[in-house]
């Protein structure tokens, strides 16, 4: 019932339905917009700020994952300004915690690592924080390594919206924000966790992984979760 609208993404004319977001229309039209927190099937959170795009006529940058398209809108997804901001956001994420790709089970399958490669990031010019962070191995099947968490909150959303368990949340604030299970209890002692593993599948990095994998062995299947979300109708 929603109306058809016409817009441009990087000059390319696209048709879309009212209510769709810029990132959805871009994906449907084969335009890739970098993002770490956005995932089809989950509500948009707008927290990683990588998907910011330019909209002609506006000085402000808008997040492609939460901004609805309008008729006649003209969007630029790739520019010097956007690229610099994205690189800097990646650098901030890399230097915030301890991301050692070489020894990570997700090496080669990590969205953070992949974006860095794609955008040409070869070093981090910020000084690293080197925080001392715990690794939660209390769950029989899964591991939560806070060193690799980028606080994208995909796990929080998938558990709440698709699984309906709401095990995960983010506690603390600012630079001290931490992913917590239940009321900050070890994951293995969680009363609400169904051990479904959806959080592991949607995690873009090696923060949530299955036990028993060596370096480079952990691959994720988040498309399955998207399909499930669509099938269950939890897709927003």
Partner 1 sequence: MTRIRDLSTFNAVRTTGLGKLRPHHVRIAVGMGTCGTGNGAEAVYSAFADAIFQRGLDATLVSTGCFGFCAEEPLVNLYSPGQPLVILHRVRSEQVNQILDGLLEKNIPEALALCKIEQWDHITAQIDYGAGYPMVPLWNEVPFFQNQKKIVLRNCGIINPDDIEEYIAVGGYQSLYKVLIDRMPELVLEQLKASKLRGRGGAGFSTGMKLEFLFKSNAAQKYLICNADEGDPGAYMNRNEIEGDPHSLLEGMAIGGYITGATKGIIYVRAEYPLAVNRLNKAIAQAREYGLLGQDILGRGFDFDIELVEGAGAFVCGEETALIASLEGRAGRPRPRPPFPAEKGLWGCPTDINNVETWYNLAPIVARGPAWFTETGSTTSAGTKVISLVGKVRNTGLVEMPLGTPLSQYVYDAGGGAADGHSIKAVQTGGPSGGCIPHDLFDTPVDYESLAKLGSIMGSGGMVVMDDDNCMVDVARYFVEFTRSESCGKCTPCRVGLDKALRTLTRITKGEGREEDLVELEELGRMIRDTSLCGLGQSAPNPVLTALRHFRHEFEDHIRAKRCHAGVCLELALSPCENSCPLHMNIPRFLQLYKEGRLADAFESVIMDNPLPASTGRVCQHPCDNRCRRQGIDESVNMREVHRVIADAVLLSDQFEEAVGRVLAKKRKATGKKVAVVGAGPTGLTAAFYLALLGHEVMVFEAHADAGGMLRYALPEYRLPNSVLDREIEIIRRLGVKFTFNTAIGEDITLNDLGSQYNAVFLSIGTWKESQLYLPGNELAGVFVALPFLEAEAKAEPMQLGNHVVVIGGGNAAIDCARTVVRRGSAATVIYRRDRGDMPAIPEEVDAAEKEGVRFRFLATPHRIIGERGGVKAIEVTKTRLGEFDTSGRRRPVATGEVQVVSCTNVILAVGEDVDRDFYRSAGLTITESGMLQVDRYSLESSRENFYAGGDLITGASNVSNAMSYGKDAARNIDARLTGDSHFDGLIPTFQYDQTAPAEPSKSPRHHAHDLPVAIRAKSFEEATTALKPEEAFEEACRCLRCDIRDSAHFAVSHR
Partner 2 sequence: MKKARVATMWLDACSGCHMSFLDIDEALLDVAPKIDLVYGPLVDAQEFPDDVDVCIIEGAIGNQDDVERVKRARERSRILVALGDCATTGNVPSMRNPIPVKTILERVYIEGAEGQKVIPTQGVPALMRHARPLHELVKIDLHVPGCPPPAPAILYVVSELLAGRIPDLKSKVRFG
CB of 12 to partner 2, least distance (A): 22
Identity of the residue, 12 or 71, whose beta carbon is nearer to partner 1 in the bound complex: 71
Q: Which is nearer to partner 1, 97 or 139 (CB)?
A: 97
Contacts of 79 (CB under 8 A, 6+ apart): 54
57: left (phi over 0), alpha (psi -120 to 50) or beta: left
Structure tokens at 223: 């498309």
Q: Which of residues 163-192 bind partner 1 (CB under 8 A)?
A: 169-170, 172-177
Q: What span, in angstroms and rounded, lies between the C-alpha atoms of 19 and 16? A: 9
Q: What is the DSSP string of 103-138?
A: G-TTTTS-HHHHHHHHHT-----SPP------EE--
191 interface partner picked from partner 1, partner 2, none, CB below 5 to 8 A per type: none
Query: Which residues, numbered 109-148, are part of the site for partner 2 (CB under 8 A)?
Result: 110, 113-114, 116-120, 122-125, 127-128, 130-133
Site stretch for partner 1 (CB under 8 A), options 83-91, 102-110, 141-149, 212-220: 83-91
Q: How many residues bind partner 1 (CB under 8 A)?
A: 37
CB atoms within 10 A of CB 126: 11
Residue from 1, 58, 102, 175 that binds partner 2 (CB under 8 A)?
A: 102
> Are residues 199 and 161 in contact, defined by beta-carbon separation less than 8 angstroms?
no
Q: Which residues bind partner 2 (CB under 8 A)?
A: 94, 98-104, 107-108, 110, 113-114, 116-120, 122-125, 127-128, 130-133
């Amino acid at each position: 019932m929603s109306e058809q609208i016409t817009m441009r993404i990087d000059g390319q004319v696209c048709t879309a339905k009212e209510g769709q977001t810029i990132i959805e229309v871009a994906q449907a039209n084969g335009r890739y917009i970098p993002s770490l927190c956005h995932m089809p099937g989950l509500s948009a959170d707008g927290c990683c700020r990588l998907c910011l795009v330019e909209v002609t006529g506006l000085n402000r940058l808008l997040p492609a994952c939460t901004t609805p398209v309008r008729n006649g809108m003209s969007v630029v997804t790739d520019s010097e300004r956007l690229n610099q901001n994205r690189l800097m956001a990646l650098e901030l994420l890399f230097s915030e915690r301890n991301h050692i790709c070489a020894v990570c089970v997700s090496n080669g399958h990590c969205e953070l690592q992949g974006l860095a490669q794609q955008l040409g990031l070869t070093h981090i010019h910020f000084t690293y924080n080197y925080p001392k962070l715990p690794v939660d191995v209390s769950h029989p099947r899964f591991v939560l390594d806070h060193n690799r968490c980028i606080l994208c909150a995909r796990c929080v959303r998938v558990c709440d919206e698709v699984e309906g368990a709401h095990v995960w949340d983010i506690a603390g604030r600012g630079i001290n924000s931490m992913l917590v299970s239940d009321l900050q209890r070890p994951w293995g002692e969680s009363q609400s966790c169904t051990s479904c593993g959806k959080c592991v599948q949607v995690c873009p990095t090696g923060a949530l992984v299955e036990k028993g994998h060596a370096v480079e062995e952990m691959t994720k299947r988040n498309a399955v979760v998207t399909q499930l979300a669509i099938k269950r109708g939890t897709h927003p």
